Amino acid sequence: MAFSYDAIKNRDFAPVEQNYTEKDTILYALGLGFGSEPTNPDHLQYVYENGLRALPFMAVVLGYPGFWMREPSTGIDWVKVLHGEQRLRLHRPLPTSGRVIGYSKIKSIVDKGASKGAIVVTERVLRNADNGENLATIEQVSFLRGNGGFSTPEQPGDTLEPYPNAIADRAPDHVMEIATRPEMALIYRLCADDNALHADPAVARAAGFDRPILHGLASYGVAGRAILAAWCDNDPTRLHALNVRFTAPVYPGETLRVESWNENGVIGFRVYVTERNIMVLNNGYAEIS
């Protein structure tokens, strides 16, 4: 089936109900490397049931509609799809366990041209299934490299709304290095994305990588760890938004250097892999209190 702006824009997503337990909350934190300092109370609060707290950015793996772009009926060349950006707005702290419902919709489709591809922004509102309260709003920006050039004068496509970028033109106010673990992708894939690209060396080689790569959302979560530690005193209730742009893959076991700047409670950040001195996350944006 050919790619259709109208069909994608008006796609009807069924609500995704999900029950998660304290074990799921702990598994998510372990998948981001918490517990590597097993006696550190800043780690234990996320991996030990006594006084357990949920990481705010765990919202990105809850109520997820799955890899719907792989369905033949979409007309999307899914092999050429890249995860471009991730945006998160927290409305209230996440419970450590509960029942949630994710309501997804297509927010915008941008035609970058036949030679450049298209951009699709999917919005997901995460609600507490028991009382209907909004917990978070999640936006995933996907780059469809094989589906540009669909627009016409009658239907030009949408425009992409940029998010604020608070990165200052000076030396970073804080630098933190966090070593990812060699098995991190194998743990993280149990939380949400079980794509074989993150586990099977043969699949990774077929995709052009030397070995399985780390999930983009795992790198995103590690950056979130650094923001919580540097600017929130490791209090998850103080983080209210976390946005990022993905620029390069990370291999499990590499060290991430998170450089951040504080502009009156708005944090800009970038992330580099120290071993290769390559930027892997850019245009980071976080709101704290």
Catalytic residues: 193, 198, 213, 216
Q: What residues does 194 pair with on adjacent strands?
A: none
| Four-residue CA torsion sign, 92, 259, 220, 76 | positive
Bridge-based pairing of strands 118-128 and 98-111 is antiparallel
All residues at 6 or more sequence positions from 54 whose CB lies less than 8 Å from its CB, including other chains:
25, 46, 93, 94, 95, 96, 236
**Separation of alpha carbons 41 and 146, rounded Å:** 47
At 197, the amino acid letter reads L
- By CB neighbour count within 10 A (0-12 exposed, 13-18 middle, 19+ buried), where does 170 fall? exposed
Structure tokens that stand for 167 in this block: 């990165």
**Separation of alpha carbons 219 and 213, rounded Å:** 10
User: What angle is formed at CA 72 by the lines to CA 109 and CA 150, rounded to 5 degrees?
Assistant: 35
Distance between terminal CA atoms of the chain? Answer: 48
- Ranges of beta strands (E only) in 13-171 are 16-20, 81-90, 98-111, 118-128, 134-144
